[in-house]
Chain A
């Protein structure tokens, strides 16, 4: 009996010390409310209240696993470089980030409409007093939000639909825009910067008015625009090898077996000595489940493309 009591007492004492150590590591933090936390019981301080008086809520990263991320809470854009410990408000009104042809929920930024890395935070948006005077602007920071620069990319620009901004290095970047859509025709154009985003210069317009699906540059001279979003029947890609001075139609040699199956090209990447691109099945593809893509290789810097292999949904396409 004595043994039992003493050993139980010893175990509890040691247990308490361990528990205290664990607790003490966390106690010096005030935990903040989480999004979507259920409020039980008699608690009416909920969203209905926000209609009349938006209340400030604790900021939560849009993606908890990312060190560098953002949030659109409180109707503003805040970014963090340390998993949400510190937040920096971006000096751009939230609504402007969704200007143009957009019909999402405004819960997340439009894909590709921003760059958020350790070296650069840049946001692409549209602003202007009236629809015919709206310009395209980029607001960016190179010192993690301490200072911000806003530049006008172009003005005026019709209602923007497709938008993409990216930088390949600290000097060279590109913006791909489309706008003024009528049915399934629209205007698309690329702007380039060679001074880290201070100034932007328009390239020549590609000779097509189809709807743009994606695009990108692999280096300062070579870029691609991929068209066809609604019912594409074959990849429709324009390539430039002189920094947008001229655009040529790229040729895809598609094996008969994959005719009208691989129809929408994504953005090419550099692979060893050649370029590679995956071509997906578009919005209506149903070949082998619809998620399989075809990989194509170009040995002449993007002018002609040869089929290389099928890429399964769960495998990485590029080496």
Chain B
């Protein structure tokens, strides 16, 4: 029995040891990719977490695999504790300088990542590659104030609502998919041409623009104040401030022929830093 346990601990020890080596190799690989391709971790904190994981596995492996004197164990443990504390401090410190806004999609396939330089208010939207790596895609057009709210309107649409330095509300939409063939660009505003209805809310998209009627009050957004993101969402703006985001749900079908029937639903999402839930709207025919 004892032998059995010791065999098992040995196996666990070696697994831990290999995990530590693997984590170390990941970090080395990351540094190379960072230097060569400007790819970084999707969340800067990952770097420190992997470090902590690596050293933690390493020490456990050493303690399990080797018979060490008590003094040696104490020295080893204190080195590791110091190392982990330093990494944790760095993790917290770095996130205060560069704030990471990271959100995983409901189906775990995409990661929305925004990194904000808290000092300058410059925020950059990153696109993820291979899950944990990311590359900068574009700078958010306004100086941010540090308040962000992320809501996934669909499996592949993430609406980011944020407050700017001059106290306006803006929305940025990360899109990770397509409702058409995936090969051609189309305009969301044109695809949702017609009347849409949901709970106390009506949206009409026509040649003038998009009209949103909420509790009997209508507001028209002309095409100049409608900004499209990818091929999945538009943000409706008034006085240079975001008011609504409209996105195409997963069941929405984009047809190349205008004559085909509109299939699927859309989501309407209010731009506010408070609580807001996306409202599902159904097609009620052309005007």
A28 touches B98 (CB 8 A): yes
List of B residues within 8 angstroms of A288 by Cβ: none
Complex alpha-carbon distance, A78 and B98, angstroms? 26
Using CB atoms, name the residue of chain A closest to B76: A9
B90 touches A20 (CB 8 A): yes
Determine which of A5, A28, A31 lies in contact with B136 in the assembled complex, contact meaning CB atoms within 8 Å. A31
B228 touches A31 (CB 8 A): no
Tell me the residues in window 208-237 of chain B with beta carbons closer than 8 Å to chain A beta carbons.
227-231
Determine which of B66, B79, B136 lies in contact with A32 in the assembled complex, contact meaning CB atoms within 8 Å. B136
Complex alpha-carbon distance, A15 and B28, angstroms? 9
Complex alpha-carbon distance, A34 and B28, angstroms? 24
Interface string of B257-276 (1 = CB under 8 A from A): 00000000000000000000
Using CB atoms, name the residue of chain B closest to A2: B66
Interface string of B165-176 (1 = CB under 8 A from A): 000000000011
B→A interface (CB under 8 Å):
17, 20-21, 24, 27-28, 31, 34, 38, 40, 44, 47, 51, 54-55, 58-59, 61-62, 65-66, 79, 83, 87, 90, 94, 97-98, 115-117, 122-124, 127, 129, 135-139, 141, 156, 175-178, 182, 185, 187, 227-231
Question: What are 22 A-B contacts with C-beta separation under 8 Å?
Answer: A5-B61, A9-B58, A17-B83, A19-B28, A19-B31, A22-B31, A24-B94, A27-B47, A27-B97, A28-B97, A30-B117, A30-B122, A30-B136, A32-B136, A33-B137, A33-B139, A34-B38, A44-B231, A45-B138, A45-B229, A53-B228, A58-B139
In the complex, how many angstroms separate the beta carbon of B70 from the nearest chain A beta carbon?
A: 16
Using CB atoms, name the residue of chain A closest to B28: A19
A40 located at the interface, meaning its Cβ lies under 8 Å from any Cβ of chain B in the complex: yes
A31 touches B38 (CB 8 A): yes
A119 located at the interface, meaning its Cβ lies under 8 Å from any Cβ of chain B in the complex: no
A37 touches B139 (CB 8 A): no
B135 touches A37 (CB 8 A): yes
A291 located at the interface, meaning its Cβ lies under 8 Å from any Cβ of chain B in the complex: no
A19 touches B21 (CB 8 A): no
Interface string of A31-49 (1 = CB under 8 A from B): 1111001011111111011
In the complex, how many angstroms separate the beta carbon of A56 from the nearest chain B beta carbon?
A: 5
List of B residues within 8 angstroms of A46 by Cβ: 185
Chain A interface size range: 35 or more
Complex alpha-carbon distance, A28 and B55, angstroms? 24
In the complex, how many angstroms separate the beta carbon of B187 from the nearest chain A beta carbon?
A: 8
A57 located at the interface, meaning its Cβ lies under 8 Å from any Cβ of chain B in the complex: yes
A26 located at the interface, meaning its Cβ lies under 8 Å from any Cβ of chain B in the complex: yes
Determine which of A13, A27, A33 lies in contact with B79 in the assembled complex, contact meaning CB atoms within 8 Å. A13
B124 touches A30 (CB 8 A): yes
A58 touches B47 (CB 8 A): no
Question: Given the interface contacts A37-B135, A42-B176, A49-B185, does A27 sit within 8 Å of B31 by beta carbon?
Answer: no
Complex alpha-carbon distance, A258 and B22, angstroms? 69
List of B residues within 8 angstroms of A34 by Cβ: 38, 136
Not counting A44-B175, A45-B229, a sample of 18 additional A-B residue pairs whose C-beta atoms are within 8 angstroms of each other reads: A9-B61, A12-B21, A12-B54, A15-B28, A20-B90, A24-B94, A27-B97, A28-B94, A32-B124, A33-B135, A33-B137, A34-B136, A42-B177, A42-B182, A44-B178, A48-B185, A55-B227, A58-B138
A8 located at the interface, meaning its Cβ lies under 8 Å from any Cβ of chain B in the complex: yes
Using CB atoms, name the residue of chain A closest to B34: A26
B55 touches A13 (CB 8 A): yes
A183 located at the interface, meaning its Cβ lies under 8 Å from any Cβ of chain B in the complex: no
Closest 7 CB pairs of A and B: A33-B136, A58-B139, A48-B185, A44-B231, A56-B141, A30-B117, A45-B230
